[in-house]
Structure 1
Amino acid sequence: MTTLTNPEVDERLEVAPDVPWQTVVWDDPVNLMSYVVRVFREYFGFSHDIATKRMLEVHHDGHAVVAEGAREQMELHAQAMHDYGLWATVRKAPQ
């Protein structure tokens, strides 16, 4: 049996595990709390209670994690939040 190797590949390179990412919504002085609840319900499909809880985290703690998953999806969520006029970022989930 013959093993094919590629001399151009550095075997010391390690592929990073598929680390979850998060979409974080940040507090701002512009949007009403009722509007943030509506956005969370409309976009993420949260129940009224969950949307209100996340909005209160944003209001009291300055931010809230609203989604977790693959980086590409979290970037789409952050862009959607921007389209709604909310301030959002993407970050690696703490391990």
Structure 2
Amino acid sequence: MSIASPDLDRDIRLDEAAAADVPWQTVVWNDPVNLMSYVVRVFRQYFGYSLDRATQLMLAVHHDGHAIVAEGPREQMELHAQAMHDYGLWATVRKAPAA
């Protein structure tokens, strides 16, 4: 015999919905292989960033070791990270810090 708790089920669904709303980030990491000009080209070609924005992000990768190149739903960030891998860049996906 199983007893369902509608309130418990509702709470779990609300928690899942709240977690889905949390933004995620695609982070590109510095590597010893790719030229800075190539990284700028990738950011411009894939994300459609302006030359100035792509250069700014590339410099963050170079000087700080990483840069957040996109933020949004987890599934989209995973697609971005995979695309960066396809271009030969090191990228990961992480949950955005709470505001």
TM-score, structure 1 normalization: 0.88
Higher helix share: 2
What does residue range 5-16 of structure 1 map to in structure 2 within 5 Å? 7=4, 11=8, 13=12, 15-16=15-16
What is the alpha-carbon distance in structure 2 between the residues aligned to residue 76 and residue 8 of structure 1? 37
Residue of structure 1 in register with 2:97 after alignment: 94
Q: List runs of 5+ in structure 1 lacking aligned partners.
A: 1-5
Letter of the structure 1 residue corresponding to residue 4 of structure 2: P
How far is the alpha carbon of 1:36 from its aligned partner? 0.1
Residue of structure 2 in register with 1:47 after alignment: 50
Equivalent residue in structure 2 for 1:62, among 57, 65, 74: 65
What is the alpha-carbon distance in structure 2 between the residues aligned to residue 10 and residue 43 of structure 1? 45
What SS does the aligned partner of 1:43 have? helix
- Structure 1: 4+ residue segments shifted above 6 A: none
Q: CA RMSD in A?
A: 1.6
What SS does the aligned partner of 2:33 have? coil
What is the alpha-carbon distance in structure 1 between the residues aligned to residue 51 and residue 78 of structure 2? 24
Equivalent residue in structure 1 for 2:30, among 15, 27, 30: 27
| Count of residue pairs the alignment pairs up | 90
TM-score, structure 2 normalization: 0.85
Structure 1 stretch displaced more, 37-46 or 14-23: 14-23
Q: List runs of 5+ in structure 2 lacking aligned partners.
A: none
Whether 1:78 aligns to 2:81 is yes
What is the alpha-carbon distance in structure 1 between the residues aligned to residue 6 and residue 92 of structure 2? 34
How far is the alpha carbon of 1:48 from its aligned partner? 0.0
